[in-house]
Amino acid sequence: MDAPDQHNLVPRHVAIIMDGNGRWAEERHRPRLFGHKAGVESVREIVEVAREIGVAFLTLYAFSTENWNRPNLEVSGLMTLLKSYLQSELRTMLRNDIRLRCLGEQDRLPEDVRSVLRQAIADTNSCRGMTLNLALSYGGRSELVGAVREMARKCLEGSLDWNALSETDISDHLFTAGQPDPDLLIRTGGEHRLSNFLLWQASYAELYFTEIRWPDFRKQQFLDAIQTFNLRQRRFGRTGAQVTGE
């Protein structure tokens, strides 16, 4: 009999740091934006396969708070791509019952992107097949600062008791409020770091790093990551015997 940790489980929440677009393009002697464009095709494919196999929450790190420091031309190219992605994918999201959410400082995004985003979030609000979180202008530390600020305000107001603050209170004040923590966190592109992504939520995520650049990360590579996840034993601090019940 299979050990209980080796069932073919579909992780409930998969989070991905979509890295390596720039190097993918540079390796082909093309401008970085060419890599970002190719990366959009991977986004389409991964959203589709995630929905197909029954992932309930998919979080994609598309733009970090630190990415604002890139050259203006790259930032504006990324914003244009984002807008056209949202415009062209809305129908597919509705057809596939995908609810769109945004994690991040939406007010820092250009107004035209913000309005398309707002509309797509509103239009897909009653979809229940899968939640797609786009992390845009997202930073884990900034998210925590926002949560602490909001909790401090509520404590002063009297609607929260500072002495009784719990981990759940913190989770409830993050962009991911009401969602489960990621089970599997994938980073493509070969770097082994979190780059300010889901610092609180990823505390027990299984980490999966691959050299594959994001534009080359497609259905098969995603399924490989899930297969690897299924070979891991998640112990959450317990012993292996406790987990298997032996």
Q: Where do contacts with Mg ion occur on this chain (CB under 5 A)?
A: 19
Q: Output 242-245 pairs: Cβ under 8 A, ≥24 positions apart.
A: 243/4, 243/5, 244/3, 244/4, 244/5, 245/4
Active site (annotated) includes residue 21: no
| 184-243 residues near ligand IPE, rule: CB under 6 A | 189, 191, 193, 195
Sign of CA dihedral 168, 139, 222, 205: negative
Of residues 22 and 182, the one with the C-beta less far from ligand IPE: 22
Give me the least distance between CB of 175 and ligand IPE, in Å please. 15
Q: What six digits make up the tokens of 49? A: 């396969």
171 binds ligand IPE (CB under 6 A): no
Among 14, 46, 47, 78, binds ligand IPE (CB under 6 A): 78
62 binds ligand IPE (CB under 6 A): yes
Q: What six digits make up the tokens of 53? A: 């196999």
28 binds ligand IPE (CB under 6 A): no
- The answer to whether 134 touches 102, Cβ cutoff 8 Å, is yes
Give me the least distance between CB of 13 and ligand IPE, in Å please. 18
Closest of 7, 126, 28, 31 to residue 81, by C-alpha: 31
**What is the contact surface with ligand IPE in residues (CB under 6 A)?**
17-23, 61-64, 66-67, 78, 189, 191, 193, 195
Catalytic sites, residue numbers: 19, 67
